[in-house]
Amino acid sequence: MPAQRDAALQLLADGEMVLQGRLVAASNATFLGTVTLGEASVTCVYKPVRGERPLDDFPDGTLWKREHAAYLVSEATGWDIVPPTATRDDGPFGAGMAQLWIDVDADADVWRIVDAPDPRLRRIALFDAAVNNADRKGGHLLPAADGTLYGVDHGICFAAEPKLRTILWDWRGQPIAPDELAVLRSLRGQLEGPLCEALRALLAPAELRALELRLDRLLRTKVFPQPDPNRMVVPWPPF
């Protein structure tokens, strides 16, 4: 709901953050924390730029910004894929991103969701194609108890060159539905306005232009992308 989302974003951006511990399974420094503002508080994931491991194919110190950019694009689609995410300069370890913690449905089996495949994954697959997600693993899919299927860990999205690596290839080459095309068309239009200004603070000009071109191609071809036979298109490990 918009009111709950806005309240969560204010907490993530302005609340006092206290760390509870480190999520040791993450490849970059990632912490579990609580943000409190007045009487309200939420649990969050905090990823400081100081904890980012350098990558050969992404500029240093940019992963936290890409996480926020992915949230902005998700919000522009209205698909509620990425949990509320904010950037802040005053975290316990300095600048970084804070994202609302999602309690996963303990009875949900992500392997079964992907293997089926669950129709909720269509939007995530299309979102990944738009943002050029280079790391869509099963562990980055969070089924919540309310039925929402979230996607997280978008630090290596938005590269200017093609890098789509995902386990969600079930719809490859299939037609994009009219309602999905309408969302993509709306997203493309929003890149001519305030969304573009927000993304300019997070992405390089070439990356923003590549986002526009990917959307243009999806709208022109009206089909889900095919895997590139000349490069690895599934992340490892896949789950």
The pLDDT of residue 4 is 85
CA 145, 181, 140 angle in degrees (round to 5)?
Answer: 35
Question: What total number of domains does the chain contain?
Answer: 2
Examine the domain organization and report whether 46 and 142 are in the same domain: no
> Of 76, 100, 124, at which residue does a domain stop?
100
Residue 91, beta-bridge partner list: 94
Domain identity same for 74 and 128: no
118 and 36 share one domain: no
- Tell whether 93 and 8 lie within a shared domain: yes
Encode burial over 26-54: b for 16+ CB neighbours within 10 A, e otherwise: eebbbbebbbeeeeeebebbbbbbebbee
- Residue 239 counted as domain residue: no
Q: Are residues 96 and 133 in the same domain?
A: no
- Rounded Cα–Cα distance for residues 228 and 232 (Å): 8
Residues 89 and 141 reside in one and the same domain: no
pLDDT at position 97 is 98
Query: How does pLDDT run across 163-186, given as a tens digit for each residue?
Result: 999 999 999 999 999 999 999 999
Tokens 């269509």 belong to: 122
The answer to the question of residue 204 being in a domain is yes
At residue 106, what are phi and psi to the nearest 5 degrees?
Answer: -65, -20
Which residues does the chain have with pLDDT short of 70?
A: 1
Whether 95 and 115 map to the same domain: the answer is no
Q: Which strands sit side by side in the sheet containing 40-48, from one edge to the other?
A: 16-22, 31-37, 40-48, 94-100, 85-91
> Which among 25, 58, 32 is positioned nearest to 47, based on CA atoms?
32
pLDDT for position 25:
85
208 within a domain of the structure (yes/no):
yes
Query: Contact at 8 Å (CB) between 52 and 28?
Result: yes
Cα–Cα distance measured from residue 88 to residue 91, given in angstroms and rounded to the nearest whole number = 7
**Side-chain-side CA neighbours of residue 213 (13 Å):** 12
d(CA 42, CA 100): 7
Residue 226 lies in a domain: no
pLDDT of residue 26: 86
- Considering the domain architecture, whether residues 147 and 170 belong to the same structural domain is answered as yes
> Is 190 part of any domain?
yes
Q: Is residue 232 part of a domain?
A: no
In a shared domain, residues 163 and 90: no
CATH number at residue 34: 3.30.200
Pair 181, 128 in one domain: yes
User: Which of 100, 125, 146 represents a domain boundary (last residue)?
Assistant: 100
What's the whole-model pTM score? 0.96
Q: Please report the pLDDT score of residue 27 as a whole number.
A: 85
Does 114 lie in the same domain as 82?
no
Are residues 205 and 132 both part of a single domain? yes
The pLDDT value given to residue 1: 57
Q: Would 116 be classed as within a structural domain?
A: yes
Return the pLDDT at 32. 97
Looking at the domain assignment, is residue 60 inside a domain? yes
The 3-state DSSP composition of the chain as helix, strand, coil percent (nearest 5) reads: 35, 20, 45
Domain region containing 146: 110-221
Cβ contact 33:17 at 8 Å: yes
Q: What is the dihedral of CA 210, 233, 63, 185, to 10 degrees?
A: 40
125/238 Cα distance (integer angstroms)? 15
